[in-house]
Structure 1
């Protein structure tokens, strides 16, 4: 999947709209999780969802941080170097 810049509700901004880059699906035990994605916000990786009822992304850049302990880190770590 090609990274896409999107406007999303960011948890760190109390739900206000901000810039995030959608990188791809969120994986659990090597299988993609339905409607769960990995985003780049600033210089960190975090998780988020798409609310299909309102057509907007919600990114948890406060508590949904993807770090070395998460299996998604090895997949998407190349994007935090940019």
Structure 2
């Protein structure tokens, strides 16, 4: 659907209760699952075709770059 990535535009941000802010879609991860970046935080986003906009989940959908160390529990 979106052939030219990255996309930078106004998107609904979860931590701001859906307010529109500039964010960037970096790549597609799966069916309607996108890697987004907002305020330096990488997180999941979904696209809503009915309102033609992305919703960025920077509250619960954060993607951490760090792998668990040997002593940390894997969950």
TM-score > 0.5, shorter chain as reference? yes
Tell me what 1:67 maps to: 64
Q: What is the RMSD computed on CA atoms of the aligned residues?
A: 1.6
Following the alignment from structure 1 to structure 2, what is the Cα–Cα distance between the partners of residues 51 and 2?
Answer: 17
In the aligned structure 2, how far is the partner of 1:36 from the partner of 1:14? 20
Post-superposition offset of 1:4: 1.8
Structure 1 residues 43-80: Cα deviation after superposition (integer angstroms, max 9, x where no partner)? 1100010001110110001110011368xxxxxxxxxx
- Of 17, 21, 24 in structure 2, the residue corresponding to residue 18 of structure 1 is 21
SS of alignment partner, residue 12 of structure 1: helix
* Alignment partner, residue 47 of structure 2: 50
Which sections of structure 2, spanning at least 5 residues, go unmatched? 68-75
Output one character per residue of 1:13-41: Cα deviation in whole Å (capped at 9) or x when no partner: 00110110110112xxxxxx111101010
Considering only CA atoms, is the larger Rg found in Structure 1 or Structure 2?
2
Stretches (4+) displaced over 6 A: none
